[in-house]
Structure 1
Amino acid sequence: MEIDKAIKIFVDFLNSSWTIVYQLLLNRDYTSNEDSINDWLQANWELLVERKVLKVNEYLEVYGEGADYDGISSRITDSEALPNFKVIVKTKNGNSILDVLNNEQVRFENVTFNKIVGFKSGFYTLEPEFKYVLITDDNLELERVVAISDIEFELERL
């Protein structure tokens, strides 16, 4: 399966499961438990995306903040594995697209994929509806948020 299709299915998975799973990941006082949420996201990224698009002994870079499950690694399934692939974000047809976080049209030249996000009240959120991508513009060291519908995902070997 292509990475673009796998990530877009992962987005559907997040949108359909988030409300149910989020209740289980809260602290006992019903506050957000970021460590548990990041562990869950990383585990599902590894199992649902990484294993679907890569071969045995091939690994993606950590998703978002990664897991805090194992102190020596940000991975869940193989704590000693080092990434040998990364997700590349490209605009469709090389066109400029709207960065909704900074409210400007942008072209991608050197960006890093971070994670899938929602967007509300002018800022990205970790809640549905997940239909945006948080990236870092490495040229400007600036966070950007773009609509998934405007981009394509590709793999690059490290």
Structure 2
Amino acid sequence: MNSSIINSVIENFRQALISGVDQVENSYEIYQREANYAVSYDDYFDDWAQCLWELLVERTICSPLERITVYGAGSDYNPNQYSHVFFQEVEESHEIICRVKKGLTAVDVITGKNVELEEYQFMRFSAFDGTWFKLSRPFDHVQLDERDAFGGHYQQILIPLNLVEFEVIKT
């Protein structure tokens, strides 16, 4: 695992999201018109983002037997078996976590409250529309989901990207 370059590798991934989202939206419109069974845009986007994640992040920092937890909801292209696109037989061994940059405080833009990032897991990059997150440019916020939530009810938070840095930990 080459974790020393994680922040630059993730920024490269985010830039790929920014530069490619228009093409994904256009492709989805065509797909929706032509497909007999069209999945939601979010599912379509998640499949694309998971492919990028595995190519631009995992392949850059992981050895062949290492795997990072899925990006966002992962890929549902093959929903009966895997959330990963490539090397599906390799088990997840590492997780990307967010840490608050030194001297700063993590504030959830949805609630306006300070939060402890250790209680949440990194999910994806999103934008903030004033009340909630959305999968669109500028992907300048980090969406995190509450860890160890019971009964399927969990809190989602949205933190401005400029408040965090990324780290890789073993799961």
**Structure 2 length as normaliser, TM-score?**
0.83
Corresponding residue for residue 16 of structure 1: 19
Q: What's 1:146 paired with?
A: 159
RMSD: 2.1
List per-residue Cα deviations over 1:91-122 (Å, max 9, x = no partner). 00163222101112223332211111111131
Match of 1:100 in 2: 109
Structure 2 stretches lacking a partner, 5+ long: none
Identity %: 27
How do 1:1-150 residues align onto structure 2 when only pairs under 5 Å count?
Answer: 2-26=5-29, 27-28=32-33, 32-70=40-78, 71-93=80-102, 95-138=104-147, 141-150=154-163
The reply on whether 1:157 has 2:166 as its aligned counterpart is no
Superposed structure 1 runs of 4+ greater than 6 Å apart: none
Q: What is the TM-score normalised by the length of structure 1?
A: 0.90
**CA drift at 1:65:** 0.7
How far apart, in 1, do the equivalents of 2:71 and 2:148 lie? 21
- Segments of 5+ residues of structure 1 without an aligned counterpart are none
- How far off is 1:81 after superposition? 2.1
Check whether the contact 1:95–1:107 (CA below 8 A) recurs between aligned residues.
no
After superposition, the Cα gap between the structure-2 partners of 1:80 and 1:31, relative to the gap in structure 1 and judged at 3 Å, is: closer
